[in-house]
Amino acid sequence: MSGPLDGVRVIDLTTIYSGPIATSILGDHGADVVKIEAPGGEAMRPGFRQRRNGVSGPFAMMNRNKRSLVLDLSEDSGKRVLERLLGGADVVVENFRPGVMGRLGFGWERMQAINSRLIYASINGVGPTGPYANRRVYDAVIQAISGMASLQADPTVERPQMINTLMCDKLTSITAAQNICSALYAREKTGRGQRVEISMLDSSLFFLWPDSMANFTFIGDDIPKRQFGSHAYFVRQTKDGYIATMPVQPAEWSGLFTALELDELLGDERFATPRARQENGDLFQQLITDAYAQFTTGELVERLGENEVPFAEINSREAVIEDPQVKAMGALVEFEHPYGGAMRQPRPPGRFSDTETDIFRCSPQLGEHTDAVLDEYGFDSNEIQRLRDQGTVA
């Protein structure tokens, strides 16, 4: 089987995290993604921590299912090569700061003239306009602007905390991949490509709004603002560790009370509804906290399961690898990278009945596919050799 995006040709000009993850998703779905790299290689290629035989673990994950072409875009000859690549591509993706593509000579009007069917996806921090548009932007900056860092604030000290993963980069990647697929679908109806701008700030606000920003949906003073909820209550200390529970429906709360031997709370009006539990929150939380501490984690696993309460043991990062559900799903794939050796990565998350998503190819060596890609895009062997001699490609 071939992937759902089989036949889609993508020129990937992106670096670091947000762009490479987005284009790797397209590659996971079968698109032919050509990663354009400067002669020195992409910044993430050397890696900062986990490496083997010169292969960086993060780079290998974010650049699987791609081919690599080295191209010097600082030279006019390199720009002419890019123009020809764009002429035969379906999608081009970049995550430069606003204005860079225009200065390179590849603004949207020029791209339309080169290829009217081209989808041009531009991933950036905060969009091309506004007081922050020319700032350098990374994940922590967007966590700060979007309010995400304040979600994690410790209420006892009111100190904001960053989420300990590149949340904004990664959710922007998923948003970008989805937007690109929508633009490809629209092209099937119109016959024309279009420009798609995806900002990290837009993506993060959309992600936060349904729950974390619910107080700000209604404009005006007629709807009173409510106290912000805390997910800290989902983590409970047991006699010998921790467990996560998230009862939502009435039957799940009843199951929790039974599991914790708090059946007397079932008929207590102070705790009968979400509003009542909130109004009597301090007492309720103390009763619940004390009850959890009476049981070991293993005992609670049995009791919560028997009473159909949503729960899970809290895995360490190491324990994730051995989790029985992760293993049963086949969620982690082990394979042999030709340079990096034995590796483990998550499979593409979507499961398709008629088309395949997979790790079709490992992350490429720098310039590994330069000649093959140029040949496929119409360059003859003499042209390719001349470009190599000039240092335009490598």
How large is the average pLDDT for residues 53-58? 95
Query: How many angstroms separate the CA atoms of 47 and 199, rounded?
Result: 25
Q: What is the mean pLDDT of residues 299-306?
A: 98
Which residues of the chain are in CATH 3.40.50.10540 domains? 9-209+331-390
The answer to whether residue 231 is catalytic is yes
CB contact at 8 A, 368 and 16: no
- pLDDT tens by residue, 69-87: 999 999 999 999 999 999 9
Percent of the chain with pLDDT over 70: 99
Which residue spans of the chain are classified as CATH 3.30.1540.10? 232-320
Closest CA to 203 of 135, 148, 149: 148
Q: pLDDT tens digits for 136-179?
A: 999 999 999 999 999 877 666 778 999 999 999 999 999 999 99
Amino acid identity for residue 86 in this structure = L
Angle among Cα 228, 231, 237 to the nearest 5 degrees reads: 135
* Distance in angstroms between the alpha carbons of the first and the last residue of the chain: 33
As a whole number of angstroms, the distance between CA 218 and CA 223 comes to: 7
Structure tokens at 71: 């191209």
- The per-residue pLDDT for range 318-370, each reduced to its tens digit, is 999 999 999 999 999 999 999 999 999 999 999 999 999 999 999 999 999 99
Whether the per-residue pLDDT at 48 is higher than 80: the answer is no
The structure tokens listed for 27 are 């590659």
**Fold for the domain defined by 232-320:** formyl-coa transferase, domain 3 (3.30.1540)
Any idea which of 112-126, 217-231, 289-303 has the lowest mean pLDDT?
Answer: 217-231
9-209+331-390 CATH pick, 3.30.300.30, 3.40.50.10540, 3.40.50.300, 2.60.40.420: 3.40.50.10540
Q: What is the pTM of this model?
A: 0.95
- At residue 155, the pLDDT reads 64
User: Which is the catalytic residue, given 29, 231, 337, 369?
Assistant: 231
Q: Give 1's pLDDT tier (boundaries 50, 70, 90).
A: low
Sign of the alpha-carbon torsion through 233, 235, 237, 238: positive
